[in-house]
Amino acid sequence: MNIVVIGAGNVATHLAEALKNAGENIVQVFSRTELSAKTLADKLRTAYTTDISNIERNSDVYIYALKDDALAEIIEQMPTKNGIHLHTAGSVPMSIFAQKKTHFGVLYPLQTFTKSKKVDFANIPLFIEASDDKTEKTLHDLAQKISKKVYCANSTERGRLHLAAVFACNFVNHLFAIADELLGDVPFSELLPLITETVAKAQTMPPKDAQTGPAHRGDTATMEKHLQLLASNKAWQTIYRNISDDIMRCNDEGEKQ
Amino acid sequence: MNIVVIGAGNVATHLAEALKNAGENIVQVFSRTELSAKTLADKLRTAYTTDISNIERNSDVYIYALKDDALAEIIEQMPTKNGIHLHTAGSVPMSIFAQKKTHFGVLYPLQTFTKSKKVDFANIPLFIEASDDKTEKTLHDLAQKISKKVYCANSTERGRLHLAAVFACNFVNHLFAIADELLGDVPFSELLPLITETVAKAQTMPPKDAQTGPAHRGDTATMEKHLQLLASNKAWQTIYRNISDDIMRCNDEGEKQ
């Protein structure tokens, strides 16, 4: 299939490369930033444009991999209704296309992307949604070419998936950043065995059954010491208190059952 | 060396097994709970007692792997000053032994333990502290028999390490538990590629440089949607808001630099 990629950020880059490797034909890249557009187009050995009016009008698929707040404007300006129009955002409903396009949908990869770091697309869960059965079939076939894990999810379900991903990925990474700073001169790598074990446990048992630590034990003396250590950073003290309180609340609920 | 293990919980079990496998002689296990004492003693093919007055008086090392709030009482009741007395707690200062024993110290493994799950002790960072140089030498040699990573840390440094571990392990696991609940019918395993990638990034770059997500992008529209999805759970809404605010604060500081 002929595919136009709109956007040249992390998601656009990884998704376009996976599609090309699966034998799809990326006919054009659009980005308003020439360097980004050219960099991605060069990687894909294809054409690019920074002028939305120059977008190829007769492509089979248009993939909008853009920041959420840019989506509506670019969809509005897109000079064609032909083909299938897809966005890749977790928290934007499919209905954003409804007034503007005929066939449309969503292809949401549940993964975090960094341009410089290769990812194995085959194991990334892809959640799809489509405007009609024929589009869903096409989208499903396309998604299966790049991933073994393709699921249907409507916009409400996808919003919850994205929210869960924010907790399990974005927020987890920020807790790593806080831990890194708390370690001072000790390198963050010394925490990796602990982190690896935490994730290994999550692979073998429900996370709520794997909980350990002062809050889980109800060890108020240690929690008090920790809150004192955090006295100079009220934001971290608040995060410590809120998460500990929530762990203790889960314990209480577990005991009641 | 002859070692008495005081306690029969997760840390006691894993540490005693590692020491035995390294050729040390576990002469006795003490726990007030007979089933726990017997279970661990059977594993180690050694003796046990539930009566603290029956503790072996002439062992080389006594390892107290107990809940923090039980430590002071058990140290008080311990019927011998002979040998080296060690605890394994991150947030208890070494000075808890000072009035009661002659040679003492701390052996703190930076890891989370579950009884049923084997861990590779060789890669667990062990942080040690001792009352005197001779004890430190003995403790260092003992620690090196079970781990390749032995470091000295005083009680203040160890307290910070423990606090960092609470953020990077206990709190991270609780965020996994929240994500699991948010996923509803979608199995938690669908988040594992995302989690694995998050940890893989932390192995190759400082976590603050790896941050992604709505708060990092300053995407207030998505954050508003997420806060609405969390409206029925005020505790999670507060955690979402606090961590997002802190991510945005880090962005601001990064930009100022």
Average pLDDT over residues B123-132: 96
Nearest CA to CA, how far is A59 from chain B (Å)? 30
Written as one string, the DSSP assignment of B152-180 is E--HHHHHHHHHHHIIIIIIHHHHHHHHH
- Could you identify the residue written with the tokens 């990796």? A192
Q: Would the CB atoms of A243 and B171 count as touching at under 8 Å?
A: yes
Question: Which of B171, B162, B15, B148 lies closest to B89, judged by CA?
Answer: B162
State the pLDDT at residue B20.
97
Q: Which two tokens stand for residue B209?
A: 């440089």
Half-sphere exposure of B29 (CA within 13 A, CB side): 27
Q: Name the residue among B113, B114, B177 with its Cβ closest to that of A208.
A: B177
pLDDT value of position B119: 84
Closest chain B CA to residue A150: B190
Which residue from A110, A198, A199 is facing B190, i.e. has the nearest CB? A110
Structure tokens that stand for A101 in this block: 């396009």
Measured between CA atoms, how close is A90 to chain B, in angstroms? 9
**What pLDDT does A225 receive?**
95
Distances (CA, A) of A72 to A15, A95, A105, A140, A158: 21, 11, 14, 24, 18
> Has residue B254 got a pLDDT over 80?
no
Shortest alpha-carbon distance between residue B211 and chain A (Å): 6
The DSSP annotation for chain B comes to -EEEEE--SHHHHHHHHHHHHTT-EEEEEE-SSHHHHHHHHHHHT-EEES-GGGS-TT-SEEEE---HHHHHHHHHH-----SEEEE--SSS-GGGGTTT-SEEEEEEE-S---TTS---GGGS-EEEEESSHHHHHHHHHHHHHH-S-EEE--HHHHHHHHHHHIIIIIIHHHHHHHHHHHHTTS-GGGGHHHHHHHHHHHTTS-GGGG--SHHHHT-HHHHHHHHHHTTT-HHHHHHHHHHHHHHHHHHHHHHH-
Nearest to A246 among B174, B216, B229 (CB): B174
Is it the case that residue B63 has pLDDT exceeding 70? yes
Q: Is pLDDT at B256 greater than 70 in this prediction?
A: no
Banded pLDDT at A256 (limits 50, 70, 90): low
- From B68, B194, B226, residue closest to A163, measured CB to CB: B226
Flag whether pLDDT at B14 surpasses 80: yes
Q: State residue B255's pLDDT score.
A: 64
Tens-place pLDDT, residues B80-93: 999 999 999 999 99
Strand-pair partners of A128: A107, A152
Residue A255, pLDDT above cutoff 70: no
For β-strands B25-30 and B2-6, DSSP reports them as: parallel
* Interface contact A169-B195, CB threshold 8 A: yes
**Closest-approach residue (CA) in chain B for A185:** B157
Test the B interface: residue of A128, A169, A240 with most B CBs within 10 Å: A169
In Å, how far is A57's CA from the nearest CA of chain B?
A: 31
Alpha helical stretches, state H, A183-233: 192-204, 214-217, 220-229
Give yes or no for a contact between B106 and B156, defined as CB atoms under 8 angstroms apart.
Answer: no
- With cut-offs at 50, 70 and 90, classify the pLDDT of residue B118: confident
B204 to A117: CB separation less than 8 angstroms, yes or no: yes
Please judge whether B179 and A168 are an interchain contact, meaning their C-beta atoms are less than 8 angstroms apart: yes
Q: Hey, is the C-beta of B58 within 8 angstroms of any chain A C-beta?
A: no
Say yes or no for a CB contact (<8 Å) between A191 and B216: no
Model confidence pLDDT, tens digit, residues A191-248:
999 999 999 999 999 999 999 999 998 999 999 999 999 999 999 999 999 999 999 9
Q: From B91, which residue of chain A is nearest by alpha-carbon distance?
A: A222
Element (H, E) at A61: strand A61-64
ipTM of the complex: 0.91
Q: What average pLDDT score do residues A88-108 get?
A: 96
Stretch among A209-223, B84-98, B135-149, B163-177 having the lowest mean pLDDT: A209-223
| Dihedral class, residue B82 (left if φ above 0, else alpha if ψ from -120 to 50, else beta) | beta
Q: What is the pLDDT of residues A40-97, one digit of tens each?
A: 999 999 999 999 999 999 999 999 999 888 999 999 999 999 999 999 999 999 999 9
CB < 8 Å & 24+ apart, contacts of A97-105: A97/A131, A98/A131, A100/A75, A100/A76, A101/A75, A101/A131, A102/A131, A103/A130, A103/A131, A103/A132, A103/A134, A103/A135, A104/A130, A104/A131, A104/A135, A105/A129, A105/A130, A105/A131, A105/A135, A105/A136, A105/A139
The four Cα atoms A129, A134, A138, A139 give a dihedral, to 10 degrees, of: -10
Query: Which of B204, B208, B239 has its CB closest to that of A242?
Result: B239
Interface of B with A in 146-205 (CB under 8 A): 149, 151, 157, 159-180, 182-184, 186, 188-204
Do residue B163 and residue A226 have CB atoms under 8 angstroms apart? yes
Per the CB < 8 Å rule, is A188 touching B179?
no
Torsion angles phi and psi, residue A9, rounded to 5: -85, -160
Quote the CA–CA distance of A27 and B70 in Å, as a whole number: 69
Q: What is the secondary structure of A84-103 as a DSSP string?
A: EEEE--SSS-GGGGTTT-SE
Q: Reduce the DSSP state of residue A112 to 3 states and report it.
A: coil
- Report the distance separating Cα B191 and Cα A153, nearest Å: 15
In chain A, residues 95-114 whose CB comes closer than 8 Å to chain B: 110-114
| B174 to A211: CB separation less than 8 angstroms, yes or no | yes
B contacts of A161 (beta carbons < 8 Å): 183, 186
Tell me the backbone φ, ψ of residue A125, rounded to 5 degrees.
-65, 130
pLDDT tens across A3-25, in order?
999 999 999 999 999 999 999 99
Report whether A239 contacts A215 (CB < 8 A): no
What is the distance between the terminal CA atoms of chain A, rounded to a whole angstrom? 54
Distance from CA of A12 to the nearest CA of B (A): 15
A257 pLDDT higher than 70 = no
Chain-chain contact of B174 with A114 (C-beta, under 8 angstroms)? no
Q: Identify all chain A residues contacting B194, using CB atoms and an 8 Å cutoff.
A: 110-112, 165, 168-169
A77 dihedral zone (left: phi>0; alpha: psi -120 to 50; beta): alpha
Cα distance between residue B190 and residue B111, in whole Å: 26
What is the number of other CB atoms lying within 10 angstroms of the CB of residue A54? 13
The per-residue pLDDT for A35 is: 97
With a CB cutoff of 8 Å and minimum separation 6, the contacts of A9 are A36, A65, A66, A67, A115
CB-closest option in B112, B193, B243 to A239 = B243
Mean of the per-residue pLDDT values of chain B: 95
Contact B243 A174 (CB under 8 A): yes
Q: Which of B159, B177, B239 sits opposite A207 (nearest CB)?
A: B177
Q: Is B199's CB within 8 Å of A196's CB?
A: yes
Give dist(CA A80, CA A69) in Å, integer. 21
